[in-house]
Structure 1
Amino acid sequence: MLKNAQITGFADEIHSDIKIQVRLLKELGIDFLELRSANGKSIASYTKEEAKALKEYLSEQKIQVSALGSPIGKISITEEFEPHFKVYQNVVEIAKIMETPNIRMFSFYIPNQEEPEKYQDIVFDRMEHLVSYARKESVILLHENEKDIYGDTAFRCKQLFDRFYGEHFKGTFDFANFVQCGQDTSEAYELLKSYIAYIHIKDALFATGQVTPAGEGDGMVREILEKLDKMGYEGFLSLEPHLADFSGLKNLEKNPLTKNISSGEAAFTIAYEALKKILI
């Protein structure tokens, strides 16, 4: 199944040290990584010089970058936008250095207990600026559904795609994030399948929100991957285990759940093996 899809992953969940990340990727036979952080530093904070040095190392190791796992759009909609846009401009430059057009992004945190629709105009205005710049710079923004942001449910993701979908704005489908929002992933897939260009592989339980290896939760991972296979999907399948605590986790989730696997290397390997079992 999905013989022409490429496995990649958030290798910073293996270890903060890029050399340890690369070692395990090579042991598992993975030639790509989704670059979110390396050596304990967010890719969005890298200078051009640092990025060039990292790219040189990855090229020497024959590891390619499938996408930048950027934090763009992962700020409150009430926060000032201009400083964040400058971070975004740097991320675009880093993507070029890493020779990937793909930049993972989000659609802004909504204040607790408030209706997302209240902020639709400002969300869309900011997204317009981001997408316009992506078009100008020839990169692709991959919007990830994520709990607590505007595009958390499939319905609001579709609103964004109805407005912005095109060569420079496409969708990342994350099973676990939909489950954690109480969203049926099969319904989400049917609504969004025309916009999906990238897949995050992690699963979760409706009852607790706990992340599980693919196929062990309520995300219907196998069933949806089978549908993608029939559609001829040839993109990336990106492992995002979230099975062990790792450096930077508290900055990625508002209220991260306690993880029950102590080793990042073990967690990533478990996630990889669970996916391979589904793909057989």
Structure 2
Amino acid sequence: MSGERLSLASAECVFNNETGGIKTREISTLFQESDPVPMSDKPQVLLSAFADEAANRKTSVEQLCSLAAIGLKYYSPRFLDVEGKGQVKHVVELSDGEIEALKKLHAEFGMRVTGIGARIGKIKLIDVEDGSKNKYVPFDEYLKSEVAKTIRVALALETKLIRGFSFYHPQGKDAREFIPQAVDRLGKIVDLCAKDGLIYGLEIEPNLIGETGPLLAELARQVNRPNMLLIFDGGNVAAQNKNPVQCFGEYREMQPYLGWMHIKDYAIDPSLTWTGHVDEERLKNFVPANAGDAGHELVLRDLRKHLPELSARMQKLGAPGFFLEVEPHLKGGGQFGGFSGPDGVGVAVRALCSLLDYIGIGYKLRDFDDIRTLRGF
């Protein structure tokens, strides 16, 4: 019985019957000893989330508290109630006073901003009636309003990243017909971002001109700016009735221009007939990253090979590294966001971490060193 070991949830106790002594080692030490690839030697990602997905009432305190408890240190603001008065605003609409109050909360909770969850590009490209509810805004006016407000808040919250979109083409028309006009408008937006050292990330999303990997890659090729990169989102691809192999193919098209990734997954419902358009009924089937049809294992295994160069590119542009940002929509999705609840975001983050552990990609959640820093003694 000498040297008998007993594993516990938080520690390993080593019993020595000859001396009657007990030695305890932290379980993290055991993982480091048994893991053939130490976390520090793995290619690394930074973890983040859209905090409004975790907050029932969208207050900033609720959002930051939820993510800090999960272990995240980065987030992207989108819809929030900074002062807790029941007034939910999009982040680009915040006043100077609200921005300063939000920054104080960041310091209190030890949170940093990944990027701005912007609405840029979620308007009609041209002013035609197509049966949709999408709005059209004259482009010069749009640059001076929505784009300028987004740049302002990115600078104020000290982030380099802006998430944006590629405009709605007329419903029922071929998106490829509108690439030249989209390229012209995106180029002007990206150039405004470049003046302030900002990176514009173009997200793949259904019903937009950039709804597929090949279309987004073509936009990136033609815009041809170092500060415009692409954001892969497997759930947004699988929601277009695409299987894991097809989703992986879309990712591969985007990979040369990849800036960061959103992590959500989608389970195809065979009872729904695919019409070529993603409607509200299809937005009920989002699942954690290890449970859907987006092929995250395939995608992340390939990403692992490219992470060193992708991280280096992002750092050269001024970002802290390559982000995987959880946006799970586990309790429902919509045109301008989704909701998961604090429990749902926790489920989504743990599912992602289990995949990263399995594949061999490193990441860091909060540990006691972070607590020491925050407590100040």
Structure-2-length-normalised TM-score:
0.68
Q: Deviations over 1:43-74 (max 9, x none)?
A: 12123332232122212321000111101101
Q: Is the 8 A contact 2:289 2:352 kept in 1?
A: yes
Q: CA RMSD in A?
A: 1.9
Work out which of the residue numbers 244, 256, 266 in structure 1 matches 2:331. Answer: 244
Match of 1:166 in 2: 225
1:277 aligns with 2:354: yes
Q: Is the 8 A contact 2:65 2:109 kept in 1?
A: no
Structure 2 CA distance for aligned equivalents of residues 59 and 84 of structure 1: 33
Match of 1:129 in 2: 188
Structure 1 CA distance for aligned equivalents of residues 265 and 124 of structure 2: 26
Structure 2 CA distance for aligned equivalents of residues 186 and 250 of structure 1: 24
Q: Deviations over 1:138-192 (max 9, x none)?
A: 1000000000000001111011111124331011111011112245211112211
Q: Is the 8 A contact 1:58 1:64 kept in 2?
A: yes
Matched position secondary structure for 1:4: coil
Structure 2 CA distance for aligned equivalents of residues 38 and 159 of structure 1: 34
Q: Deviations over 1:3-29 (max 9, x none)?
A: 521110001011101111111111111
Structure 1 CA distance for aligned equivalents of residues 353 and 193 of structure 2: 34
Structure 2 CA distance for aligned equivalents of residues 129 and 200 of structure 1: 25
Structure-1-length-normalised TM-score:
0.90
Identity %: 26
Work out which of the residue numbers 46, 50, 57 in structure 2 matches 1:6. Answer: 46
Q: Is the 8 A contact 1:69 1:104 kept in 2?
A: yes
Q: Deviations over 1:176-221 (max 9, x none)?
A: 1111224521111221111111010001123455211102111111
Matched position secondary structure for 1:24: helix
Choose between structure 1 and 2 for higher RCO, CA contacts under 8 A separated by at least 6 residues.
1
1:250 shift after superposition: 4.2
Correspondence list, 1:1-280, <5 A: 4-15=44-55, 16-39=58-81, 40-78=88-126, 79-80=136-137, 81-85=139-143, 86-183=145-242, 184-207=246-269, 209=282, 210-233=285-308, 234=311, 235-245=322-332, 250-252=334-336, 264-280=341-357
Structure 1 CA distance for aligned equivalents of residues 67 and 43 of structure 2: 19
Change (3 A) 1:162 1:182: farther
* Larger gyration radius, structure 1 or structure 2: 2
Q: Specify the code of the residue in structure 2 equivalent to 1:224.
A: V
Structure 1 CA distance for aligned equivalents of residues 241 and 224 of structure 2: 25
Structure 2 CA distance for aligned equivalents of residues 190 and 118 of structure 1: 23
Structure 1 CA distance for aligned equivalents of residues 68 and 105 of structure 2: 14
After superposing on structure 2, the runs of 4+ consecutive aligned residues of structure 1 that deviate more than 6 Å are none
Q: Deviations over 1:98-140 (max 9, x none)?
A: 1111000000112221121332232122112101111222100
* Count of matched residue pairs: 270
Matched position secondary structure for 2:307: coil
Q: Is the 8 A contact 2:231 2:258 kept in 1?
A: yes
5+ long unaligned stretches in structure 2: 1-38, 82-87, 127-135, 273-281, 312-321, 358-377
Q: Specify the code of the residue in structure 2 equivalent to 1:198.
A: W
5+ long unaligned stretches in structure 1: none
1:268 shift after superposition: 0.7
